[in-house]
Structure 1
Amino acid sequence: MKCPQCVYSNPDGVKFCLSCGEKFFKNNSSEDENSFFYEFAHYVDMLPNIERSIEPKFHNIFSRVFRKHSELEAERLFIVGTALTTPKISEVKETWPKPWLFARVFIIALLIFAGFYTGVSYFGNWNFIPGVIIVGAFAVPFSTLMFFWEMNAPQNIAFYRVIYYVLTGGILSMLAAIVFFDILKNNINPITIGIVEELAKAIMVIAFVRYRKYKYILNGLLIGAAVGAGFAAFETAGYALRSLLSGDGANLYNTIIIRGIFAPGGHVAWAALTGAAFCRVQGDNRFNLSMIFRFKFLRVFILVVVIHALWDTPIQGMFPYGHTFLTIASWIVVFLLIRAGLKEIGERKLMV
């Protein structure tokens, strides 16, 4: 079916052009006027769903990263999670999604960072310094968060709420960690750092999940990643500012770049794992404090604490090989929980 406006070839049965949004058929029924919004969301998402793969292989999962995508496909991702665009569980695909927008977000952030860097390094204008710190701190954590956003198959969390979790979850978890550190005073070491920071993030993730009654494993991954992204970005910005105030301009960039490279395997992944583990335990049940003491949750939380403690341990030769190994280990567990989350969707569809 070719669009009369842009001559784009659309699949049979669509009511709107996937390229320009032109409406093919007049709707004479008494349906709500918002049906255009729903149809737009449904049909733009048709082709990506068809291309999904059952096998969790890297060349399948990331196969759409290097393909050309229309602007409407990106818009489709940002309008999910509303009353009109959240699909029923029977309509959710339990096959592996193929995320791609996260790569575009990273490239855009990289280009913006390069612009701020040019303003400081080549023109000597310090007005660009705040941009260097803010964009540099958020670029990789936010891009990683976008990956989890695209992997949230239930599509039941609005993007504005994800941003809310990044900002409020990030700052509140940092404040909680500071309180815990103040209580510990001189008993601060890699183990206590791991316990304190992961506990602070876990408290915020559980609070968000409990309040909104999110029940899917993939929801927990996304919300945890949002809190972790905020924590990681604010922490990096703080370290970068301290480097700047110490008079070591070169260390400012080293801090941002090094922490950016390893950000996907740090706070973002760790908090995502904690969130997924909690949602796996809670499910449709009402929150109970005993849930955090269940083995399914504790084994993941303890693993995250151990990885975090090893990450901060000043072992000779630990960087960068040890951090690379810990990043890979974290993401192996992430993909295992994504698989568990997709399996959970399949099981819930059978119950409908």
Structure 2
Amino acid sequence: MKCPHCDYSNPEGLRLCLSCGHKLLSRNTQEQDPNNFFYEFAQIVDEIPSSQRSVKPKFRNIFSRVFRKHKEVEAERLFIVGTSLTTPTIEEVEATWPKPWLFARVFLIALFTYLGLYLGVSLFGNINFIPGLIVVGAFAVPITTLIFFWEMNAPQNIAIYKIVYVVFIGGILSLLVALVFYDLLRNNINPITIGIVEELAKVVAVIIFVRDLKYKYILNGLLLGAAVGAGFGAFETAGYELRALLSGNFHMLYYTIIWRSIFSPGGHVAWAALTGAAMCRVQGDSKFRLNMLMKPKFVFVFILVVAMHALWDSPIPGIYPFGQLILMIISWIFVFRMVRIGLNEITDKKKGLTVT
């Protein structure tokens, strides 16, 4: 279908031009709700027919769009999803594996910014670049990972401004709650209590956001949990970077930034995402109640992330960094498993609507 505005040849069935964003006028388009074209544009995938796509995890397909060329208008359309005008109904949601790509662009932007700040400090010796170096070094990878979770949120019902809100408010709130718990356990600090305290603090913050029935899907909990974990991890990393800087050793500062960035996707972000998804899984369409935290499906995930956190902080000789890398892999195996459960949930809900 050729766009009447720019003559770009679009695949059949689209309501919006991939090149210029101009509305495509067709007989089918005129008969449909004009608000839905925002979502359909954001949901564009590759040329694989929908009948050949599956909710089974195929990692090659998940990342198949990362190395393709994308127009700026595609990113613009992605950033408008989740509003009252652009949130799809459950019938419109595709219960197939999303193919995220924007997160890779965000990472490249952050990497280029970090390298510029690094040159400003190391090559030109300008200390005015140091605050930016700390902030970008702390937030680059957590935010990149968070954008991945945002793109994996198939319901597309959470706006980007909400995610930014959860990163900052949820991140600082969970840190403050953790400090309260640490103060109560000041004489019993060890890897196990650290895992319990920090994961429980993030759960408290996640509950504040997912208890809203507007965000009732498992994939919503995965995303909001990741946002809380990203804020928690980034603020914590910034603190460690400042400590390294105050030691007077710039090599220690760069060491802290690099290694905490490498491990960031498999730490606080993934763990909080799992507990957030588990919370939404046990809550379902009901209002939040404390006894939901005792349900086996939540307890299992919480014990799992606490155990991984405790092992992560364990002073076992030789565990660093190979132990952390193994734990990262395990974390993401469970993340993708939770994504699959979330997609199956959408399928079940759509079937339920069809039956009724």
Equivalent residue for 2:339? 338
Equivalent residue for 2:111? 110
Q: Distance in 1 between matches of 2:206 and 2:127?
A: 37
Q: Distance in 2 between matches of 1:333 and 1:26?
A: 43
Q: Distance in 1 between matches of 2:342 and 2:9?
A: 35
**CA contact under 8 A between 1:45 and 1:73: conserved in structure 2?**
no
Number of residues paired by the alignment?
349
When residues 70 and 37 of structure 1 are mapped into structure 2, their CA distance, relative to the original with a 3 A threshold, is: farther
Equivalent residue for 1:188? 189
Q: Greater CA deviation, 15-24 or 286-295?
A: 15-24
Alignment of 1:153-302 (within 5 A): 153-211=154-212, 213-302=214-303
- Cα root mean square deviation, aligned: 2.1
The CA deviation at 1:267 is 0.1
- What one-letter code is carried by the residue in structure 2 that aligns with 1:11? P
The CA deviation at 1:287 is 1.1
What does the per-residue CA deviation read over 1:91-119, in whole Å, with 9 as the maximum and x for residues that have no partner?
11111111111111111100100000010
The CA deviation at 1:256 is 0.7
Q: Distance in 2 between matches of 1:44 and 1:255?
A: 37
**CA contact under 8 A between 2:42 and 2:81: conserved in structure 1?**
no
Q: Greater CA deviation, 281-290 or 220-229?
A: 281-290
Q: Greater CA deviation, 48-57 or 12-21?
A: 48-57
What does the per-residue CA deviation read over 1:63-85, in whole Å, with 9 as the maximum and x for residues that have no partner?
11101111121112111111111
Q: Distance in 2 between matches of 1:280 and 1:226?
A: 17
- What one-letter code is carried by the residue in structure 2 that aligns with 1:295? P
Q: Distance in 2 between matches of 1:335 and 1:146?
A: 15
Runs of at least 5 residues in structure 2 that lack an aligned partner in the other structure: none
Q: Distance in 2 between matches of 1:190 and 1:46?
A: 45
Secondary structure, aligned partner of 1:87: coil
The CA deviation at 1:45 is 3.1
Q: Distance in 2 between matches of 1:129 and 1:274?
A: 34
Runs of at least 5 residues in structure 1 that lack an aligned partner in the other structure: none
The CA deviation at 1:24 is 4.4
- What one-letter code is carried by the residue in structure 2 that aligns with 1:39? F
The CA deviation at 1:38 is 4.2
When residues 145 and 15 of structure 1 are mapped into structure 2, their CA distance, relative to the original with a 3 A threshold, is: closer
Q: Distance in 1 between matches of 2:227 and 2:24?
A: 39
TM-score (norm 1): 0.94
Equivalent residue for 2:43? 45
TM-score (norm 2): 0.93
When residues 322 and 236 of structure 1 are mapped into structure 2, their CA distance, relative to the original with a 3 A threshold, is: same
The CA deviation at 1:212 is 5.1
Q: Distance in 1 between matches of 2:166 and 2:42?
A: 27
The CA deviation at 1:43 is 3.8
Secondary structure, aligned partner of 1:336: helix
Secondary structure, aligned partner of 2:212: helix
**CA contact under 8 A between 1:148 and 1:225: conserved in structure 2?**
yes
The CA deviation at 1:254 is 0.5
When residues 330 and 38 of structure 1 are mapped into structure 2, their CA distance, relative to the original with a 3 A threshold, is: same
The CA deviation at 1:183 is 1.0
What does the per-residue CA deviation read over 1:286-323, in whole Å, with 9 as the maximum and x for residues that have no partner?
11110001111000000100000000001110111100
Quote the sequence identity (%): 66
**CA contact under 8 A between 2:39 and 2:87: conserved in structure 1?**
no
Equivalent residue for 2:126? 125
When residues 36 and 343 of structure 1 are mapped into structure 2, their CA distance, relative to the original with a 3 A threshold, is: closer
What does the per-residue CA deviation read over 1:304-347, in whole Å, with 9 as the maximum and x for residues that have no partner?
00000000001110111100111111111111110000000000
Q: Distance in 2 between matches of 1:307 and 1:191?
A: 10
**CA contact under 8 A between 1:49 and 1:93: conserved in structure 2?**
no
Q: Distance in 1 between matches of 2:147 and 2:22?
A: 29
Q: Distance in 2 between matches of 1:239 and 1:67?
A: 37
Equivalent residue for 1:17? 17
- What one-letter code is carried by the residue in structure 2 that aligns with 1:109? A
